[in-house]
Structure formats: structure tokens, C-alpha cells
């Protein structure tokens, strides 16, 4: 080691003093020559003879100097630098090849890295910044409402349930109830922005073990119903957005949906609790819930609470499940809250391993990983192909260099170095692509999410680069070794077809692989696209495309029902005169805003839970329900016996054999009046296009109960509803000076949650498919162009023997088509079997149907024809005289 | 044999500091003209020996009033020489034993 260092030092020193060393060596050699000459003269030689003898004994001065310099220099390192310069020059001289090679690598690696950075966080990591996340579990509750016909579903909990766990469960060291982040108004005025707020139990932060970035988290004193002022912790992102990251944020008052809170702390960057979507602000459940929900919020019958727990050491999750299940089933007054059979299952807080249904984006993202890997494979195949072709076109150059004496080792080394440079450039470009693409992808898929880490993941990048490098080296090494072994004379004399033939199979195979990968991606994109189309067209039971819902809030919610009605009447009067407003009604709730569920029962018959909706006669038409049989609710119904319209599903389930019209059903408590069914409407979806149609019912009502929450105006536009929105906004602002907030949305906007994963799949699969198709097109073009160039003389002979241009074109196009067809068949089969991976994510679409496969075939067919056009044209124009003379 | 020339050089300069020509002369005389190197090839080897720190070099005047570069062995050079000689002798002994058994 010491010796190595000394030698290194000597070399470095030599490097610096090179010129003086050179002259020193020259002096030394001169001195030596003089000694020799003197010796020769002593034996009686003449001057000339002495000089000749001396030169003979000393040897070739240049060789000596060269060899000596080897001792001074870094030999291999300098050779490497020279080779790198040479390779760089060569790559610059063929910019087309270099660009395509680098780009295909950049896209392949970049796509992978970008997708993985998203998916890694979603599927594989516990929520960031949580201490010891291994024993933090989410509490999932599986409910069966009718044990006779079990339809289990996972739901959130009631506060009384989570609070009971908190008080009695011994399996946990802590139970933390909280609410999922919802949209809260920030400040006053009609244009008050919405932020995401969450109510959390006072022990939320301490149980998760996070430390504040600024200020403090909740103390037990903050988490009491009788606090002097409500405390709030804000997220790091909100702190930067709203307070520009200033420490003076502490102590600031915020008005959150009418609740005055004081900022006491800032959460660290990237912290999002155990949810994927971060809240902007957290407030103590114990102090704020009495205001935001109701004074006895613990008894509220809504499924408003979520919870996570820390498991006690030594308790197995299964044992904890059993204890928690028992606690829930032993709660008092269960009848009152809508009886169901609860089973608790603790689930991982790592999203990819959650027990309850994963968000669709998470699932789509995990498929995107596969798609990105396919792109990577296609890129590698393309690169290999490019390198193989390139190796062939360089045969003469390589033969020449071998002929003038370069060693094989050095030559192969040089070729590999070129590939390494390409891989390096590709990796560099990929980093840019991943940085940009990862950021874009994150904001596309999870606009709400806060990210603790950067977009670049070192492991992914490293892995992708290793793949790219391995491919580049393999694709170079094989032909390089063959070529350098080839008979130099033969290679120089003619373009020997031998090598072209032997690598031809490989190249065609690689291209077929690329085509097959493209098929997979196109089929995926087409299936997602079709799903998106179907989702847009899906019948929700109401007319989502032309309906706008508006919600009016007053600053102090002091208005009673009558006051509210006055305000709404005024708003209605102003809105009605806006051109383009076709119908307009008042409603207490609107579709897709999480409608309430009530127990429904048929006397001496079946029972279950139903979505219910109190409607005025005009509302049923404004929303565009479809009446299948019977009649609408009439104004007279409000005065007489209560009636009901039931959905198709309810009709089928409650009266499987009988005609539902004229039957009666009871909604709510057993003391409620039995309502006569006067009509059947088309099925409704109230939360998502994906949900199975729930039982739903429209109840006649005398007067809407507007004391609850805000009130809605439902407007049906005659044209594009979006155009009405600014005018509506202006109209409502004039209604009352103290009008706090107007929220105007189209119904279809609220379905965005459903559309988003499909859009994501369509966009990403589509983009990847385009990349893969372009790569395949470029690859095909390369192969055919090369093949035409190789076969110029053959084509010339054919042409001389009387082949027409058409025949030659067919020859070339045919070669391409065979490859594409093989790729299509392989890719088609692969897609057929791989379709199970995405099938569950699609909407009303089967992968194994004609459209996706036809799309792939047509698209690739067109690309193949385009790619063969120019080579075919060249083949057709081969002049036999020139072609034959050229050899 | 690789390294042999280095060993011979080290041996020569271990006797006294010498310049390149003197080393060549020495090898030639001691080996009774059997070891005839192309004298120029001494210099890459000398550079190697310098590089490894086995010898030091300095310009001095010869007894005949010429300037020449003298090589002096270092302590590391002596250790190295000992090692080389030992391993060379081991090798030589081995070869001889092999040759003898074949007779």
C-alpha cells in the first residue's frame, strides 16, 4: 500500500515536471552515449564507427523515451482519456444516432424513476415523520347491516365508537380519534378561500411522536370543551403559503368556518398524520367538535370519526381486533344508531397494505410501475438494436484500425467506452426527465399531498442506470468481439454479409419485442380511455352534466329557517333572470355530497339502509331524475299522506315479487308513518360512479328543513353550466351584504374523484404507449434502412433482371411487416393474459374486447407503414447500373 | 523474467552508487558478457525503480570529470532486493530440483 502511494506520488510529480524530466532523460542518455563512444574510441574506432556502435548498444532512443514515460504516467488512465475524447468525437459526428440512443434511455429511465418516486411513497412507505410506525395501526370497521343478506362494507366510525375504544380497550397504549380532512372556510366574505381542516384528538401529535417545526403541539389543556381560545396547528405547507414561513404566525388568529382559532404550532414539512392527503390545519377535537358538529358530538350518529392506535407491546393485532370488536358490539343503545354487525380489523398505515379499499389512484399508480418498466424494456431493446446496427456500419473502420495495429483489447475497450458514454448521457438526461416528470406526476395524481422527499430517488436511478449500462455493454460487447476477430482483409475488401446476417435475427427479435411491448401499453391506454369515456357518459340517475349546485353561507349562522328561506328566495329571484338558467329549485342536500342513510323497513317484510332525500316537487325535475313507472310527487302530496319514490334497486330488493307501486315503506324509527310508494325512479349513485347502486328514496316533504347546515340552490342550465358560474356568483353577492360564502359547483366536477384515476391511467398509459410506439417506429426504420443499404447490390440485380419498383417495395415492406405481425401476436397474447392486472381498475370496460386490440393493431400497422416508406422508396429507386458498379 | 532486470539493477547499485553506463558495464563484466541488455532498456527500469522509491538519483561528477546521474539504493530498495533474491533463489532451486529428477 505504502509502495503504491509512493509510486502514485512519483507519477503525479512526474506529470507536473514532465518537460524537465524529459530533458533530464535526454541528458542521461547523452551521457551514456558519450561513455559508449569513448569506450569505442579506446578500442581504436573512428568517430563515425564509435557513434554507430554507441547507437547500436544503446538502442532506439524514441522507444526508450516512450517506455520511460510509461513509468511516469498513469498509462491506462491517459489511454482512457484519449479513448474518451475519441469516442466523444465519434458520437458528435453522428448526432442522429447519439440523440436517439440518449433519448430512448432518458425516457426509459426517466419514466421509471418518475413513477417509482410516486409509488414508493404511496405503496411502500409508512406515513413520513411518524416515530416507530411499525405499531401504529389504522382502525377499520367492517359492517354488515342485514345479517340475513350480508353485504359487508368498510366504513368510518361514530365518535361514540372511537371514544369507547379510547376509554376501555386495553390492547392499545393509545387510541386517537380524528376526522378526515374536510374543506373549511378561512376568514370572512363571499370569496373566502377553502382550506383542509381536520379535528384530531389532543394526543394526536404526541402519539405519532412528531416534533413541531415551530411552536408547540396540543397540551391536555387545549383539548377540553371549555377552553378560552381554540388552539390550532398548521401544516408546513400552509405556513409557507399563508404566512410566508414567518415565525410571527404563532399567536395569529384564524377564522375557520366561523370558529376562531389561535395558531400555536407548525408541523414539520411533509407531515400528514396517517392520511395520504395532508390537512392544512389541525384543531383539537375535544374543543372544536362541540361547535362544528353539535354540543353532544359524542352522541352524533354520523360516521364522522376515523382512528388510529398504538398497539401495546406483546399484544397481537388479532387479539386487539377481537377485543375492539367486542367493545363495539357491547355499546349501549345500538338499535338507536342503526344496528349493524361490526368487526374491527386493524390495518397497516402503509397505504399499499391497507385493509380497507385502497384509493383508486394508489392502485392505478402501482400498475403504472409495470407500464414504466415496459417502457424501460422497450428503450433497452431499442438501444441494443441501435448499437448492433451501428456496429455493423463500422466494420470497415474497425478492420482498418485493426490492420494498422490497434490491439483487440484496446479496440473493444474503446467501443464499450462509447456505449458507456451514451449510458451516462442517457442517465443524466433521465435525471432531468425524472425530476420534471416526477413533479408533474405528483401534482397530477395527488394535488393535496405534501411530499417530504424530493422527486429523485437514488435507488431507482441507480437501478435504472445499472440496467441501461448493462444493456449498452452487452449490445456492444457481442458484436465487437465478433468483429474484431473477423478476417481483416476480408472485411476491408467487401462488406461481408456474414455478420449482418447473424445479428439480423437478433435485431429482428429485439424489434418484435419492442412492438409487443407497445401493444401492451396501447391496449392499456385504450382500455383506460374507453373507461374514461364510459365514466363521463355514465348515468348517475340525475343529470350531472347540466346541473349546478350552489350553497350559500351566512357569516353568523343566526338565521332561522324562515330567514334562510327569505334569503334563498331572494337569491332564487336574482338567479332566475340570468339567461341560460332553465330550472331552479331549493334543496337541503344535493347528489354526490354524501347523502344521509336511513333505515328503511317494510312492515312484515325486509329491511335495510337507504339513501333518502326530501324533495319538493320541482326539485325532482330540476335534478333530472328518471321516472320509470308511477308518477312524480305532486304538490298535493305535501298536504296529504306522505308518499315516496323508490329507486329500482330498492323496489327489487324490498318487493322482489310484487309490484312496488301502492306498497308502503317506513323510513327511520318504527314509529314513523308508513309511506306509500307512488313511483319508481332510475337508480342513483350518491358517492361514486363505482359504487353499487344503493337503495334510494325520494320523500315527499311539506317544507324543507333548512335549519340543518347550509341550503342549496340547484340550477339546471340549458347549455354549458360553466358559463353561468360567474354571473351566478355576481348575483348572489348582491343578495345580502353579510353573505359569507358562495360555493358554486357543477355536479360533474364532484365526480372528479372518480374520473381522476381513470384520467391518470389514460394519460400515463397513453404517454408511455406513444413513447414505446415512437421507439418501435424508429427501430423499424433503422432496420429497414440498413437492410436496404446492405442489399443495394442484390436489389440492383433484381432490378436488372426485370423486377419492377413495386416488387422491390413489397420486399422491403414485407420484411417490416413480418416483424410487426410477430410483435403484434406476441404482444396481443401477453396483453390478453396481463389484462387481469388492470381489469379491476377499469370502468364498464373489458380489456379482452375488440377495441383495445384493434387500436393496437391499427396504430402499429400505420407506424410500420410510415417507418418503411422511406426505405421502400429508396429500394424502388435503386439504379442497377450504379448499384452493381458500387461493389 | 519480469522484475529480473530490476533485481539486477538493485544488486549493482547496492554495491556502490552508479550511473546508467556503469550499471550496464557492471552487469556485462560480472556476468562475463552473458547478460547483454540493450543498454537503453535500463532507463525505463531505472525510472521504475525510482518510482517505487527503491533508489534515489542525483547528478554528480565522475572521476573523469563528466556529469552523470548516479543512482543510490535506499533502505526500501535493500529490503526489496533481499526479497527478490530470496524468491529468485527459491525459484532457481525449485527449477534445478525439477531438472535433476528428470535425469
Q: What is the pLDDT of residues A501-521, one digit of tens each?
A: 556 777 888 889 999 999 999
Pairing of strands A664-667, A597-601: antiparallel
Residue B100: what pLDDT? Answer: 84
CB-CB under 8 Å, A58 with B40: yes
| Shortest Cα distance, chain A CAs vs residue B18, angstroms | 12
Average pLDDT, chain A: 81
CB-CB under 8 Å, A31 with B20: yes
Q: Given its phi and psi angles, is residue A112 left (phi above 0), alpha (psi -120 to 50 degrees) or beta? A: alpha
CB-CB under 8 Å, A31 with B21: yes
pLDDT in tens, A121-150: 667 777 888 888 888 998 988 887 666 666
Least confident of A58-72, A682-696, A818-832, A845-859: A58-72
CB-CB under 8 Å, B51 with A72: yes
pLDDT band at A522 (very low <50, low <70, confident <90, very high): very high
pLDDT band at A322 (very low <50, low <70, confident <90, very high): very high
pLDDT band at A201 (very low <50, low <70, confident <90, very high): very high
Burial of A420 (0-12, 13-18, 19+ CB in 10 A): middle
Q: Distance between alpha carbon B19 and the CA centroid of its chain, in Å? A: 12
| Shortest Cα distance, chain B CAs vs residue A37, angstroms | 11
Chain A residue with the nearest C-alpha to that of B64:
A35
CB neighbours of residue A691 within 10 Å:
11
Chain B residue numbers with beta carbons less than 8 Å from the beta carbon of A17 are: none
pLDDT, greater one: A842 or A265? A265
Q: Which of A82-91, A224-233, A460-469 has the highest mean pLDDT?
A: A224-233
Chain A residue numbers with beta carbons less than 8 Å from the beta carbon of B6 are: none
| Shortest Cα distance, chain A CAs vs residue B11, angstroms | 19
Q: What percent of chain A has pLDDT over 90?
A: 14
Chain A residue numbers with beta carbons less than 8 Å from the beta carbon of B68 are: 28, 31, 35
Lookup: cell for A271: 407531515
Name the residue among A464, A474, A557 with its Cα closest to residue A106.
Answer: A464
pLDDT over 70 at A289, yes or no: yes
pLDDT over 90 at A205, yes or no: yes
Chain B residue numbers with beta carbons less than 8 Å from the beta carbon of A58 are: 38-40
pLDDT over 90 at A234, yes or no: yes
| Shortest Cα distance, chain B CAs vs residue A19, angstroms | 15
Average pLDDT of the residues in A588-593:
68
Q: What percent of chain A has pLDDT over 70?
A: 85
Of A11, A28, A36, the CB nearest to B43: A28
CB-CB under 8 Å, B39 with A28: no
pLDDT over 50 at B75, yes or no: yes
Q: Report chain A residues touching chain B, CB-CB < 8 A.
A: 3, 6-7, 10-11, 14, 24-25, 27-29, 31-32, 34-36, 57-61, 63-64, 67-68, 70-72
Chain A residue numbers with beta carbons less than 8 Å from the beta carbon of B41 are: 59, 64, 67
Pairing of strands A607-615, A597-601: antiparallel
pLDDT over 50 at A575, yes or no: yes
Chain A residue with the nearest C-alpha to that of B76:
A3
DSSP A367-415: HHHHHHHHHHHHHHHHHHHHHHHHHHHTHHHHHHHHHTT--HHHHHHHH
pLDDT, greater one: A276 or A799? A799
CA-to-CA separations, A118 to A122, A439, A454, A748, A757, in angstroms, rounded? 6, 9, 10, 27, 14
Chain B residue with the nearest C-alpha to that of A65:
B44
Average pLDDT of the residues in A784-810:
81
Residue range B4-102, CATH number = 1.10.10.10
Chain B residue numbers with beta carbons less than 8 Å from the beta carbon of A67 are: 41, 43-44
Of A6, A61, A70, the CB nearest to B53: A6
Residue B41: what pLDDT? Answer: 78
Residue A376: what pLDDT? Answer: 83
CB-CB under 8 Å, B19 with A31: yes
Chain A residue with the nearest C-alpha to that of B37:
A57
Q: What percent of chain B has pLDDT over 70?
A: 92
CB-CB under 8 Å, A64 with B41: yes
CB-CB under 8 Å, B47 with A71: yes
Q: Report chain B residues touching chain A, CB-CB < 8 A.
A: 19-21, 24, 38-41, 43-44, 47-48, 50-53, 66-69, 76
Q: Distance between alpha carbon A776 and the CA centroid of its chain, in Å? A: 24
Of A6, A25, A34, the CB nearest to B43: A25
Chain B residue with the nearest C-alpha to that of A32:
B21
- Specify the DSSP element, H or E, that contains A11: helix A2-16
Least confident of A499-513, A771-785, A852-866, B78-92: A499-513
| Cβ partners under 8 Å of residue A287, min gap 6 | A222, A223, A224, A225, A227, A230, A231
Chain B residue numbers with beta carbons less than 8 Å from the beta carbon of A3 are: 52-53, 76
Residue from B19, B21, B49 to probe the interface with A (highest A Cβ count within 10 Å): B21
Q: Using the 8-state DSSP alphabet, how is residue A313 labeled?
A: T
Residue A686: what pLDDT? Answer: 74
| Shortest Cα distance, chain A CAs vs residue B32, angstroms | 17
pLDDT in tens, A86-118: 888 888 888 878 888 888 888 888 887 777 777
d(CA A868, CA A870): 6
CB-CB under 8 Å, B44 with A71: yes
Residue A230: what pLDDT? Answer: 93
Least confident of A87-91, A251-255, A553-557, A746-750: A553-557
CB-CB under 8 Å, B44 with A64: yes
Q: What is the CA radius of gyration of chain A?
A: 38
Chain A residue with the nearest C-alpha to that of B54:
A3
d(CA A405, CA A159): 85
| Shortest Cα distance, chain A CAs vs residue B96, angstroms | 32
d(CA A706, CA A531): 39
Residue whose entry in the numeric block shows the C-alpha cell 436496404? A788
Residue from B28, B47, B64, B71 to probe the interface with A (highest A Cβ count within 10 Å): B47
Residue A251: what pLDDT? Answer: 92
Residue extents of the structural domains in chain B = 4-102
Chain A residue numbers with beta carbons less than 8 Å from the beta carbon of B74 are: none
CB-CB under 8 Å, B53 with A27: no
Chain B residue numbers with beta carbons less than 8 Å from the beta carbon of A70 are: 44
Of A31, A61, A64, the CB nearest to B66: A31
d(CA A312, CA A321): 13
Q: Using the 8-state DSSP alphabet, how is residue A807 labeled?
A: H
Residue A521: what pLDDT? Answer: 92
Chain A residue with the nearest C-alpha to that of B59:
A28
3-state secondary structure of A471: helix
Least confident of A557-561, A583-587, A872-876: A557-561
Average pLDDT of the residues in A861-887:
80
Average pLDDT of the residues in A161-167:
91
Q: Distance between alpha carbon A299 and the CA centroid of its chain, in Å? A: 40
pTM score, whole prediction? 0.67
Chain B residue numbers with beta carbons less than 8 Å from the beta carbon of A14 are: 51
Indicate whether this complex's ipTM tops 0.90: no
pLDDT, greater one: A736 or A94? A94
CB-CB under 8 Å, B40 with A29: yes
Residue B39: what pLDDT? Answer: 78
Chain B residue with the nearest C-alpha to that of A71:
B48
Residue from A26, A58, A62, A65 to probe the interface with B (highest B Cβ count within 10 Å): A58
Chains A, B: CB contacts under 8 A, how many?
A: 74
pLDDT over 60 at A705, yes or no: no
| Shortest Cα distance, chain B CAs vs residue A269, angstroms | 56
pLDDT over 70 at A436, yes or no: yes
CB-CB under 8 Å, B67 with A64: no
| Cβ partners under 8 Å of residue A868, min gap 6 | A780, A781, A784, A812, A813, A816, A817
3-state secondary structure of A88: helix
Residue A662: what pLDDT? Answer: 87
pLDDT in tens, A363-381: 787 888 888 888 888 888 8
CB-CB under 8 Å, A34 with B66: yes
Least confident of A255-269, A414-428, A452-466, A756-770: A452-466
pLDDT in tens, B78-95: 998 898 889 888 888 888
pLDDT band at A709 (very low <50, low <70, confident <90, very high): very low
Amino acid at each position: 500500500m505504502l509502495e503504491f502511494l509512493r509510486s502514485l506520488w512519483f507519477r503525479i510529480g512526474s506529470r507536473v515536471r514532465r518537460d524537465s524530466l524529459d530533458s533530464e532523460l535526454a541528458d542521461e542518455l547523452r551521457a551514456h552515449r558519450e561513455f559508449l563512444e569513448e569506450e569505442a574510441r579506446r578500442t581504436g574506432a573512428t568517430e563515425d564507427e564509435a557513434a554507430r556502435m554507441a547507437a547500436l548498444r544503446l538502442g532506439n532512443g524514441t522507444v526508450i523515451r516512450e517506455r520511460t514515460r510509461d513509468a511516469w504516467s498513469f498509462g491506462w488512465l491517459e489511454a482512457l482519456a484519449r479513448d474518451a475524447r475519441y469516442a466523444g468525437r465519434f458520437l458528435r459526428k453522428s448526432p442522429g444516432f447519439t440523440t436517439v440512443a440518449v433519448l430512448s434511455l432518458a425516457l426509459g429511465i426517466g419514466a421509471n424513476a418518475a413513477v417509482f418516486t410516486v409509488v414508493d411513497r404511496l405503496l411502500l412507505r409508512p406515513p413520513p415523520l411518524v416515530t416507530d410506525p411499525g405499531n401504529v395501526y389504522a382502525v377499520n370497521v367492517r359492517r354488515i347491516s342485514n345479517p340475513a343478506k350480508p353485504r359487508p362494507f368498510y366504513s368510518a366510525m361514530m365518535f361514540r365508537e372511537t371514544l369507547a375504544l379510547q376509554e376501555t380497550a386495553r390492547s392499545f397504549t393509545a387510541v386517537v380519534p380524528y376526522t378526515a380532512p374536510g374543506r373549511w372556510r378561512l376568514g370572512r366574505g363571499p370569496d373566502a378561500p377553502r382550506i383542509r381542516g381536520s379535528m384530531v384528538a389532543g394526543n394526536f401529535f404526541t402519539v405519532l411522536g412528531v416534533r413541531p417545526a415551530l411552536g408547540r403541539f396540543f397540551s391536555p389543556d387545549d383539548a377540553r370543551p371549555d377552553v378560552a381560545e381554540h388552539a390550532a396547528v398548521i401544516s408546513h405547507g400552509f405556513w409557507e403559503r399563508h404566512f410566508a414561513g414567518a415565525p410571527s404566525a404563532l399567536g395569529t388568529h384564524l377564522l375557520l368556518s366561523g370558529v376562531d382559532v389561535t395558531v400555536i404550532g407548525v408541523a414539520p414539512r411533509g407531515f400528514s398524520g396517517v392520511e395520504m392527503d395532508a390537512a392544512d390545519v389541525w384543531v383539537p377535537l375535544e374543543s372544536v367538535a362541540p361547535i362544528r358538529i353539535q354540543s353532544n358530538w359524542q352522541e352524533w350518529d354520523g360516521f364522522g370519526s376515523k382512528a388510529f392506535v398504538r398497539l401495546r407491546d406483546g399484544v397481537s393485532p388479532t387479539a386487539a381486533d377481537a377485543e375492539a370488536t367486542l367493545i363495539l358490539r357491547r355499546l349501549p343503545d345500538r338499535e338507536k344508531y342503526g344496528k349493524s354487525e361490526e368487526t374491527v380489523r386493524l390495518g397497516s398505515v402503509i397505504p399499499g397494505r391497507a385493509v380497507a379499499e385502497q384509493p383508486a389512484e394508489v392502485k392505478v399508480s402501482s400498475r403504472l410501475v409495470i407500464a414504466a418498466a415496459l417502457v424501460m424494456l422497450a428503450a433497452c431493446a431499442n438501444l441494443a438494436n441501435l448499437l448492433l446496427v451501428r456496429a455493423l456500419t463500422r466494420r470497415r473502420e474497425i478492420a482498418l484500425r485493426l490492420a494498422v495495429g490497434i490491439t483487440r483489447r484496446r479496440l473493444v475497450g474503446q467501443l464499450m467506452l462509447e456505449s458507456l458514454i451514451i449510458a451516462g448521457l442517457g442517465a443524466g438526461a433521465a435525471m432531468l426527465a425524472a425530476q420534471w416528470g416526477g413533479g408533474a406526476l405528483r401534482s397530477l395524481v395527488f394535488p393535496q399531498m405534501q411530499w417530504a422527499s424530493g422527486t429523485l430517488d437514488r435507488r431507482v436511478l441507480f437501478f435504472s442506470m445499472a440496467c441501461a449500462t448493462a444493456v449498452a455493454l452487452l449490445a456492444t460487447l457481442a458484436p465487437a468481439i465478433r468483429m474484431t476477430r473477423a478476417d481483416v482483409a476480408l472485411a476491408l475488401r467487401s462488406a461481408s454479409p456474414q455478420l449482418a446476417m447473424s445479428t439480423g435475427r437478433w435485431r429482428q427479435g429485439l424489434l418484435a419485442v419492442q412492438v409487443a411491448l407497445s401493444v401492451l401499453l396501447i391496449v392499456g391506454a385504450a382500455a383506460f380511455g374507453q373507461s374514461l369515456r364510459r365514466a363521463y357518459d355514465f348515468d348517475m340517475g340525475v343529470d350531472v352534466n347540466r346541473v349546478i349546485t350552489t350553497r350559500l353561507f351566512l357569516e353568523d349562522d343566526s338565521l332561522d329557517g324562515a330567514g334562510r328561506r327569505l334569503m334563498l328566495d331572494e337569491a332564487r329571484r336574482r338567479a332566475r333572470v340570468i339567461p341560460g338558467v332553465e330550472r331552479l329549485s331549493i334543496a337541503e342536500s344535493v347528489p354526490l355530497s354524501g347523502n344521509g342513510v336511513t333505515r328503511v323497513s317494510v312492515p312484515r317484510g325486509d329491511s335495510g339502509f337507504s339513501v333518502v332525500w326530501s324533495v319538493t316537487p320541482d326539485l325532482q325535475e330540476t335534478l333530472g331524475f328518471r321516472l320509470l313507472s308511477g308518477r312524480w310527487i305532486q304538490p298535493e302530496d305535501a298536504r296529504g299522506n306522505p308518499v315516496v319514490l323508490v329507486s329500482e334497486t330498492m323496489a327489487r330488493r324490498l318487493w322482489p315479487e310484487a309490484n312496488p307501486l301502492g306498497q308502503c315503506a317506513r323510513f327511520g324509527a318504527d314509529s314513523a308513518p308508513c309511506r306509500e310508494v307512488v313511483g319508481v325512479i332510475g337508480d342513483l349513485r350518491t358517492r361514486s360512479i363505482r359504487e353499487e347502486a344503493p337503495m334510494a328514496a325520494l320523500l315527499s316533504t311539506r317544507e324543507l328543513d333548512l335549519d340543518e347546515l347550509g341550503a342549496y340552490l340547484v340550477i339546471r342550465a340549458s347549455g354549458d353550466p360553466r358559463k353561468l358560474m360567474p354571473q351566478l356568483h355576481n348575483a348572489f353577492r348582491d343578495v345580502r351584504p353579510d353573505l359569507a360564502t358562495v360555493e358554486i359547483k357543477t355536479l360533474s366536477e364532484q365526480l372528479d374523484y372518480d374520473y381522476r384515476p381513470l384520467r391518470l391511467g389514460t394519460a400515463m398509459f397513453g404517454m408511455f404507449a406513444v413513447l414505446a410506439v415512437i421507439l418501435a417506429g424508429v427501430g423499424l426504420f433503422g432496420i429497414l434502412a440498413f437492410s436496404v443499404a446492405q442489399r443495394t447490390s442484390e436489389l440492383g440485380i433484381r432490378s436488372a433482371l426485370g423486377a419492377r419498383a413495386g416488387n422491390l417495395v413489397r420486399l422491403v415492406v414485407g420484411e417490416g411487416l413480418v416483424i410487426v405481425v410477430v410483435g403484434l401476436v406476441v404482444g396481443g397474447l401477453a396483453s390478453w393474459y396481463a389484462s387481469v392486472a388492470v381489469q379491476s381498475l377499469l370502468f364498464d370496460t373489458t380489456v379482452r374486447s375488440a377495441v383495445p386490440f384493434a387500436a393496437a393493431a391499427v396504430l402499429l400497422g400505420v407506424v410500420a407503414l410510415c417507418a418503411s416508406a422511406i426505405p421502400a422508396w429508396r429500394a424502388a429507386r435503386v439504379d442497377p447500373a450504379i448499384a452493381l458498379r458500387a461493389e | 523474467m519480469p522484475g529480473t532486470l530490476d533485481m539486477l539493477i538493485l544488486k549493482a547499485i547496492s554495491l556502490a552508487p552508479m550511473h546508467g553506463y556503469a550499471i550496464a558495464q557492471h552487469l556485462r563484466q560480472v556476468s562475463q558478457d552473458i547478460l547483454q541488455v540493450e543498454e537503453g532498456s535500463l532507463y525505463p527500469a531505472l525510472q521504475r525503480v525510482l518510482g517505487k522509491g527503491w533508489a534515489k538519483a542525483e547528478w554528480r561528477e565522475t572521476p573523469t570529470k563528466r556529469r552523470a546521474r548516479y543512482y543510490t539504493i535506499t533502505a526500501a530498495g535493500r529490503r526489496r532486493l533481499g526479497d527478490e533474491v530470496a524468491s529468485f533463489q527459491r525459484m532457481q532451486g525449485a527449477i534445478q530440483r525439477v531438472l535433476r529428477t528428470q535425469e
